Amino acid sequence: MRVGVLTGGGDCPGLNAVIRAVVRKGVKEYGFEFVGYRDGWRGPLEGQTMELGIEQCRGILPRGGTILGSSRTNPFKLENGVERIKENLAADGVDALVAIGGEDTLGVATKLADLGVDVVGVPKTIDNDLSGTDFTFGFDTAVNIATEAIDRLHTTAESHHRVLVVEVMGRHAGWIALHSGIAGGASMVLIPEQPFDIVDVCNRVETRFTSQYAPIIVVSEGAVPKEGGDMTLASGEVDAFGHVRLGGIGDRLAKEIEERTGKEARAVVLGHIQRGGTPTAFDRWLATRFGLQAIDAVADGDFGKMMALRGTKIERLPLVEGTAELKLVSPEEYAEAAVFFG
Ligand code: F6P
Identical fold for domains 2-137+279-323 and 139-276, yes or no, is yes
* Nearest CA owner, ligand 1 atom 13: 10
- Ligand 1 centroid to Cα of residue 10, in Å, is 6
Q: Is the CB of 270 under 6 A from ligand 1?
A: no
pLDDT at 200: 96
pLDDT at 233: 76
- Ligand 1 centroid to Cα of residue 105, in Å, is 13
According to the CATH classification, is domain 2-137+279-323 in 3.30.1490.20?
no
Mutate-to-test residue for ligand 1 from 126, 235, 249, 270, highest number of ligand atoms within 8 A of CB: 126
- Among 340, 329, 320, which residue's Cα sits nearest to residue 108? 320
pLDDT at 242: 81
Which residues are catalytic, by number? Answer: 127
What are 270-289's pLDDT values in tens digits? 999 999 999 999 999 999 99
Measured from the Cα of 275, ligand 1's closest atom is 4
pLDDT at 237: 77
Measured from the Cα of 171, ligand 1's closest atom is 8
- Ligand 1 centroid to Cα of residue 208, in Å, is 32
d(CA 187, CA 235): 29
* Nearest CA owner, ligand 1 atom 11: 10
- 10-residue mean pLDDT profile of the chain (342 residues): values are 97 98 98 98 98 98 98 96 97 98 95 97 96 96 98 95 97 97 97 96 94 93 86 77 85 96 97 97 98 98 97 96 91 95 89
Give the start-to-end residue ranges of the domains of the chain. Answer: 2-137+279-323, 139-276
* Helix (H) and strand (E) counts in the chain: 11, 13
Q: Give residue 29's identity as a one-letter amino acid code.
A: E
For the whole model, what pTM was predicted? 0.95
pLDDT at 141: 98
* Nearest CA owner, ligand 1 atom 14: 10
Q: Give residue 59's identity as a one-letter amino acid code.
A: G
CATH of domain 139-276: 3.40.50.460
pLDDT at 13: 98
In contact, 175 and 127? CB cutoff 8 Å: yes
pLDDT at 199: 95
